[in-house]
Amino acid sequence: MRRVIGYVFLLVGAFALAAAAVAGFWGRDAAATVPLNVDTKTVLEGTASGALAKSDTPVAVKYTRTTQAAPDDSTDEVVVFVETACIMIQEGETPTCARAEDDERVVTASERAYAMDRKTSEVVKDQVKYVGEERAVEGMTGLAGKFPFDTQRHDYNYWDDTLGTTVIATYVDDVEVEGVKTYQFEVSASSDDEILSKGEDGEADTDDDVRGSYEATQTIYVEPTTGSYIDQTATQKMVTSSGMVLIDAEMSYDDKTVSTNAEDAEANISKLTLIGTWIPVGGLVAGLLFLLVGLWLVLSGRKPNGGSHAAADDRTLVDA
């Protein structure tokens, strides 16, 4: 019976070592993948002035962005995101968003779709393949929605929708936000002659384009293990070539968004740590213990060499 239990321990030990090896060499990498069920809402609060804000002086505004994955358009390697964003002047019971023709409190409203590599978090080159020709942004590259898993302390290429090109997200410092370790990145984008609006025809580089200067800054606090945003502040200013201020805004994540981001990041870090560290280490230790105990039980359960046959032979000699 002892030998049977020993063989069971050996089998369990071998299984534990195999599980540790799989988790160590494959599990962590598999877990560090952008999921296909993303459905988040981000809220920034602040002030804005200018023609779009219908005020020469700063008024209270709220920027709401929803980000949803489109699993039917995604693959094992690429995830498609659809983002809708809206800036609303805060007057009375203001809706999250509305159509500009229906509500004068709308400052801006937009929608974009893009395809991102689920491992590197960089947008893929062939956007048309995943989001269609009508929604694809030509030449889109760099980071758009999040930073990569295991974000490093160096600069990254960061996509700017208005400029239609990448700018540099510069690493600044390590900063703790809501008890979560983050990397602070600074992003600056500017142009003295940029298309601020494509005009009524919706086509760029035509006679009815509105051109002018564009300045934007972002301070992004990134949790490095997951690459997710914890906090963010942003400014944006657009002035037409005729000198009219279209928008001059300054906003930052509201407290609820920061708190939710911190909680989600901590939960995801725990999952990655479990799969990438505790299961491999625990499986290795448990596997070795089971193997040692199983080996001892098997060896100790064996009878001495010639034990049963020797006893029978001895009895025969005595009887004779």
Q: Please state whether beta strands 78-89 and 55-69 pair in parallel, antiparallel, or not at all (unpaired).
A: antiparallel
Residues 200 and 265 reside in one and the same domain: yes
> Is the per-residue pLDDT at 280 higher than 80?
no
> Is the per-residue pLDDT at 32 higher than 60?
yes
Residues 294 and 202 reside in one and the same domain: no
Residues 38 and 18 reside in one and the same domain: no
Residues 20 and 120 reside in one and the same domain: no
Which residues sit opposite 210 in a β-bridge?
A: 197
Give pLDDT, residue 267: 92
DSSP secondary structure string for all residues of 248-294: EEEEEE-HHHHHHHHHHHHHHHHHHHIIIIIHHHHHHHHHHHHHHHH
Instruction: Domain count for the chain, please give it.
Output: 2
pLDDT, average across residues 256-272: 92
Residues 200 and 302 reside in one and the same domain: no
> Is the per-residue pLDDT at 7 higher than 90?
no
Give pLDDT, residue 235: 98
pLDDT digits (tens, 9 = 90+) for 82-133: 999 999 999 999 999 998 889 999 999 999 999 999 999 999 999 999 999 9
The one-character DSSP state at 252 is E
Backbone angles phi, psi at 171, to 5 degrees: -70, 135
Give pLDDT, residue 264: 94
Question: When comparing pLDDT for 67 and 316, which is higher?
Answer: 67
Give pLDDT, residue 8: 64
Give pLDDT, residue 320: 38
CB 188 within 8 A of CB 167: yes
> Is the per-residue pLDDT at 318 higher than 60?
no
- Give the dihedral sign, CA 93/98/102/103: positive
In this prediction, residue 299 has a pLDDT band, given cuts at 50, 70 and 90, of confident
In this prediction, residue 212 has a pLDDT band, given cuts at 50, 70 and 90, of very high
Q: Which domain holds residue 139?
A: 26-273
Residues 69 and 202 reside in one and the same domain: yes
Residues 140 and 15 reside in one and the same domain: no
pLDDT, average across residues 156-162: 96
Q: Distance between CA 309 and CA 311 in Å, rounded?
A: 5
Q: Which of 19, 21, 14, 17 is nearest to 294 (CA)?
A: 14
Give pLDDT, residue 13: 57
pLDDT, average across residues 53-79: 96
Question: When comparing pLDDT for 268 and 48, which is higher?
Answer: 48
Backbone angles phi, psi at 170, to 5 degrees: -95, 125
Question: When comparing pLDDT for 4 and 168, which is higher?
Answer: 168
Q: Distance between CA 236 and CA 110 in Å, rounded?
A: 15
| Choice among 20-29, 188-197, 257-266 with the minimum mean pLDDT | 20-29
Give pLDDT, residue 204: 57
% of the chain beyond a pLDDT of 70? 74
Give pLDDT, residue 197: 80
Q: Distance between CA 156 and CA 167 in Å, rounded?
A: 8
Residues 72 and 107 reside in one and the same domain: yes
Please enumerate in sequence order all residues whose Cβ is within 8 A of that of 283, keeping only pairs 6 or more positions apart, or say none: 16, 17, 19, 20, 21, 23
The one-character DSSP state at 3 is H
Residues 42 and 191 reside in one and the same domain: yes
Residues 100 and 57 reside in one and the same domain: yes
Beta strands in the chain (DSSP E): 39-50, 55-69, 78-89, 106-117, 156-160, 165-177, 180-197, 210-223, 228-240, 245-253
- Write down the pTM of the prediction: 0.79
Which residues sit opposite 66 in a β-bridge?
A: 41, 84
> Is the per-residue pLDDT at 291 higher than 70?
no
Q: Distance between CA 302 and CA 252 in Å, rounded?
A: 72
Residues 311 and 220 reside in one and the same domain: no
Q: What is the mean pLDDT of the chain?
A: 85
Residues 119 and 158 reside in one and the same domain: yes
CB 69 within 8 A of CB 81: yes
